[in-house]
Amino acid sequence: MKGPGIMLVQFLGADPPFNRLATLAEWAASLGYKGLQIPTFRPEIFDLAQAAESQTYCDDVKGMLAAHGLEITELSTHRQGHVVVSHPAYDQTLADFGPPEARGNRAARQEWARQQLYLAAQAASRLGLCTHATFSGSLCWPYLYPYPPRPAGLVEEAFDELARVWRPILNAFDERGIDVCFEIHPGEDLFDGWTFDMLLDRLDGHPRCNILYDPSHMLLQQMDYLGFIDLYHERIKAVHVKDAEFHGDARGGAYGGFQDWGNRAGRFRSLGDGQVDFVGMFSRLAHHGYDGWAVLEWECFLKHPEDGAREGAAFIRDHLIRTTSHAFDDFMRPTTDRETNRQILGLD
């Protein structure tokens, strides 16, 4: 497993060092990070269109990062992926998720997002990446709770559309040998194991349909987030290391009661301040041979982001597991053969 990495999007800002990739890289390296997950919706940070077309641009970015001892963990199209497929209920709130010319035009915004994913496949290939981080989009999330009862076939129709849209995008990544990692995330149509399976089945087990694993979103759903690793380890190709806590009480639970983050039962926390069993998480991932990046995603409702970033680098580094090359009791194991084994068992 590689790390520590850091997802940059929550740290972007108007002031240095958070307004340019070069200064963000210097800042992250000074904290001990080895990898950056780079957002692609801010051209002044990373120009996705230029990266898709120019090997020189990609080489310059890689060279600048290497000078700070950094690599790119993944490019992120979370924002674009969120609008690849979206329900009309979000048209107003997603108005700024896309170019100005697509404002107020859902079809144009979705087409822009889909083209962005194709550009991301080209850019990731030029950068020599093997994984990509994104969201699935949200077409049937408004119908999560079945009251009034959902019309028969509504969810199936939504996932058929999800598969129709994503199949050619996944094929474009497949041509370049890159895994698409959907972050399993409430608010997206892929928010747990069942929903991932529904899409995967419709994609006929597409080899590039994979998972970005984040335990915080599963803890807040009260899922067995460690068991999830055992079930889906073959599809987990990217990891966000993010903490969370859940304290249900007499006034609120998983849905949050429309409260702000500080008053919700489920809240994101800085690493080590919440309830996620990271020893168990890193152990399961190591046991199953995960060899990708462990990337901090900071979204604590309480702690200052720069403190969370500083503490997060050491936290991830201290949890990385160098797996053993031999069993601890190998030195006691006798040399034997089938005949001796049969004698031991009393079969001869």
State residue 80's pLDDT score: 97
pLDDT of 76 > 90? The answer is yes
Q: Which residues contact 187 (CB under 8 A, 6 or more apart)?
A: 138, 141
DSSP 100-130: GGGTT-HHHHHHHHHHHHHHHHHHHHHTT-S
Q: 173 lies in which domain range?
A: 2-344
**Cα–Cα distance for residue pair 316/271, rounded to 1 Å:** 9
**Mean pLDDT of all residues in 328-336:** 82
- Predicted confidence band at 252 (pLDDT cuts at 50, 70, 90)? very high
Which of 88-92, 123-127, 188-192 has the least mean pLDDT? 88-92
**Cα–Cα distance for residue pair 25/44, rounded to 1 Å:** 14
State residue 292's pLDDT score: 98
pLDDT of 348 > 80? The answer is no
50 closest CA partner among 120, 134, 129:
120
Cα radius of gyration (the chain): 22
The distance of Cα 23 from the centroid of its chain, to the nearest Å, equals 24
pLDDT, tens only, 44-73: 999 999 999 999 999 999 999 999 999 999
State residue 240's pLDDT score: 98
Report helix, strand or coil for 241.
Answer: strand
State residue 323's pLDDT score: 85
Which of 120-124, 144-148, 171-175, 219-223 has the least mean pLDDT? 144-148
In percent, the amount of the chain with pLDDT more than 90 equals 93
State residue 327's pLDDT score: 82
**Mean pLDDT of all residues in 210-235:** 98
Number of Cβ within 10 Å of residue 144's Cβ equals: 13
**Mean pLDDT of all residues in 126-139:** 98
**Is the CA virtual torsion 279, 283, 294, 168 positive or negative?**
negative
**Cα–Cα distance for residue pair 242/185, rounded to 1 Å:** 12
- Predicted confidence band at 325 (pLDDT cuts at 50, 70, 90)? confident
- Using CA atoms, how far residue 71 sits from 28, 33, 283, 315, 318, in Å, is 11, 10, 24, 19, 20
Q: Strand pairing partners for 241?
A: 296
- Predicted confidence band at 332 (pLDDT cuts at 50, 70, 90)? confident
**Cα–Cα distance for residue pair 22/45, rounded to 1 Å:** 9
- Predicted confidence band at 126 (pLDDT cuts at 50, 70, 90)? very high
pLDDT of 90 > 90? The answer is yes
Q: Which residues contact 316 (CB under 8 A, 6 or more apart)?
A: 3, 4, 5, 241, 271, 294, 296
Q: What is the mean pLDDT of the chain?
A: 96
State residue 315's pLDDT score: 98
pLDDT of 294 > 80? The answer is yes
State residue 152's pLDDT score: 96
What is the pTM for the complete model shown?
0.95
The CATH number assigned to the domain holding 317 equals: 3.20.20.150
Structure tokens at 125: 């290939």
What b/e sequence results for 72-100 when a residue is b if at least 16 CB atoms lie within 10 Å of its CB, and e otherwise?
A: bbbbbbbbbbbbbbbbeebeeebeebbee
**Mean pLDDT of all residues in 198-211:** 98
What b/e sequence results for 276-311 when a residue is b if at least 16 CB atoms lie within 10 Å of its CB, and e otherwise?
A: bebeebbbbbbeeebebbbbbbbbbeeeebeebbeb
Angle in degrees, CA 130, 239, 142, rounded to 5: 105
**Cα–Cα distance for residue pair 96/139, rounded to 1 Å:** 18
- Predicted confidence band at 335 (pLDDT cuts at 50, 70, 90)? confident
In the chain, the number of structural domains is: 1
267 closest CA partner among 249, 246, 282, 287:
246
**Cα–Cα distance for residue pair 57/268, rounded to 1 Å:** 36
**Cα–Cα distance for residue pair 37/129, rounded to 1 Å:** 11
**Mean pLDDT of all residues in 254-277:** 96
Task: Identify each DSSP E strand in the chain by its residue range.
Answer: 2-7, 35-39, 71-77, 131-134, 179-183, 209-213, 236-241, 243-246, 266-269, 293-296
Report helix, strand or coil for 270.
Answer: coil
